[in-house]
A and B are shown apart, each in its own frame.
Chain A
Amino acid sequence: MDRREFTIKVVSPALFTLSLFVIWEAVCRLFHVPLTILPAASDVFAALWRYRDPIMENSLVTLWTTLAGFAIATAFGLALGIAVGWHRALYAGIYPVLVGFNSIPKVAVVPVLILWFGLGEVPAIMTAFLISFFPIVVNVATGLATTEPELEDVLRALGASKLDIMRKVGIPRSLPYFFGSLKVAITLAFVGTVVSETVGANKGIGKLMLDAQSAFQVPIVFAGLLVLAILGIVLYAMTALIEQRFTGWAFRGHANY
């Protein structure tokens, strides 16, 4: 990385983030914003440090339930996407159901999940899964469905079976779509987990924030938000990295971006 690139990729975002916190702090102090409305950045960081143990513990719960739900969504979404992309009849049959299911706000499903599985990690994992598998299915199916007909002709004329075409062309071709959808899915899974935790759970950042809110511990609520933001960035960066690692060819000219 040369100096110019370093300035753009490291210095610029760091400076911007820092100034955001500085402005936040300045606004709170200048206008004497009450602690119960908006605690200053320094208060939030103080709370973050003071309650680091429970925050850490609950973050880890949120993290692993998100990842568990995401893993299930990935496996399920990939399988369903391939099935749907394979057969036009399956596509036509399943698609309306999928769209219908996807349009149900998942908050509304959480009570049912708690009813079935009780308070604990399972409803959070299930919510993360349910909310995040849809984009994976749609993307994989789209990748498969948009295989160039001429390329299919080339292979069919050689006597390739449908399975051959899938293995040699369809699946590798849909991988960029698949990895692209993972970025969306991980964010959604995270949302799902936290939503589920705030509706009803006995652990997790969502639950911690809910408890802090009812005790008017506003700095902890904001500390929770901060932790969520950091976790979100880490999870997104992880999937983005995986995407580039596996489908560098799809980025062509700007491969090092």
Chain B
Amino acid sequence: MTTPALVRLDRVSMAYGRGEAAIHAVEEISLEIHTGEFIAVVGPSGCGKSSLMKLISGLHPPLSGNLSVEGKPVRGPIKSVGMVFQNSNLLPWRSVVDNVLLPLEIVEPHRSRIRREAGLYREKSIKLLESVGLGGFTEKFPWQLSGGMQQRASICRALIHEPEILMLDEPFGALDAFTREDLWCLLRDLQAARSATVMLVTHDLREAVFLADTVYVMSNRPGRIVKRFEVGIERPRDLEVTYSTEFQAIVHELRGHIGRAGEPAGGAH
């Protein structure tokens, strides 16, 4: 790709705690995310996938190496991020639409405008909710929604302020297989419509291969990138693709890397 990278990590390491007791989460990670690219990071559980997300969003500083977003080094939380976790984390005392409005109450310039243009922002949120099939549920409370619907709302909340990067940390891990596939397609369409930059952290290889342009495989903790794989399947992809031999072959190959990654990296966890 010729465009300059939106996110660039150059031999970045990160640890929790300090000194001898420090737990090394990721080591010497180098990767680039380009504008409009969809990357997926896969690996065994506890390999530091989520730590990588914390690094890029600026929530946790790197121990060493260079980390830049839009060419500028990251020094603190970067506001142009939208995050979705396995748990939808919606606020139970707010209606669905008010939950989606939450980021706008925090991020400038919306923050200073939201009081004056409340109607406009509300309309925008409702439109976004309609686009993910939650049109009739805007005034409901999160606990009145199913798990899949809650996660749709959570994705809306992450997108409402039009972030540069959408970060998803095992967003569909708690859903049943059919709901999960529905949401894959939803995410695929949302990404295509907005040409959004997405980083997906998952341990579901099929999910990663179905959605991403580039898949990174991480080793056991401390996490290193052991394989970068460009998924050659043409986009937009249909769910049928997941049953093709090409798709199966890719998943199989990536599985092999994870198996190998698990063995040498200093035993358990």
Contact = CB atoms under 8 A, between A and B. Distances in A.
A75 to B, nearest CB: 23
B89 A159 contact: no
A150 B85 contact: yes
B91 A252 contact: no
Interface string B84-116: 010101011100000000110111100000000
A158 B89 contact: no
A169 B83 CA distance: 16
A162 interface: no
B79 interface: yes
B81 A157 contact: yes
Given A157-B57, A158-B161, A168 B89 contact: no
Given A158-B107, A172-B93, A150 B79 contact: no
B-side interface mostly: loop
A159 B89 CA distance: 18
A156 B93 contact: no
Contact of B77 (A156, A168, A247): A156
B54 interface: yes
For chain A, the bracket of interface size reads 20 to 34
B93 A159 contact: no
Contact of B106 (A150, A160, A175): A160
Nearest to B76: A159
B229 interface: no
For chain B, the bracket of interface size reads 20 to 34
B141 A150 contact: no
Interface in A174-202: 175
Given A249-B141, A250-B92, A153 B106 contact: no
Contacts of A252: 92, 143
Interface in A217-257: 247, 249-250, 252
Contacts of A160: 106
Contacts of A157: 57-59, 77-79, 81, 83
Contacts of B158: 154
Contacts of A155: 102, 106
Most A C-beta atoms less than 10 A away, residue of B54, B77, B79, B161: B77
A257 to B, nearest CB: 15
Interface string A46-68: 00000000000000000000000
26 contacts: A148-B89, A150-B85, A150-B87, A154-B83, A154-B85, A155-B106, A156-B59, A157-B59, A157-B77, A157-B78, A157-B79, A158-B79, A158-B81, A158-B103, A158-B106, A159-B77, A159-B79, A168-B105, A169-B91, A172-B91, A175-B93, A247-B93, A249-B93, A249-B141, A250-B92, A250-B93
The 5 closest A-B pairs by CB, nearest first: A159-B79, A151-B89, A249-B93, A157-B57, A157-B81
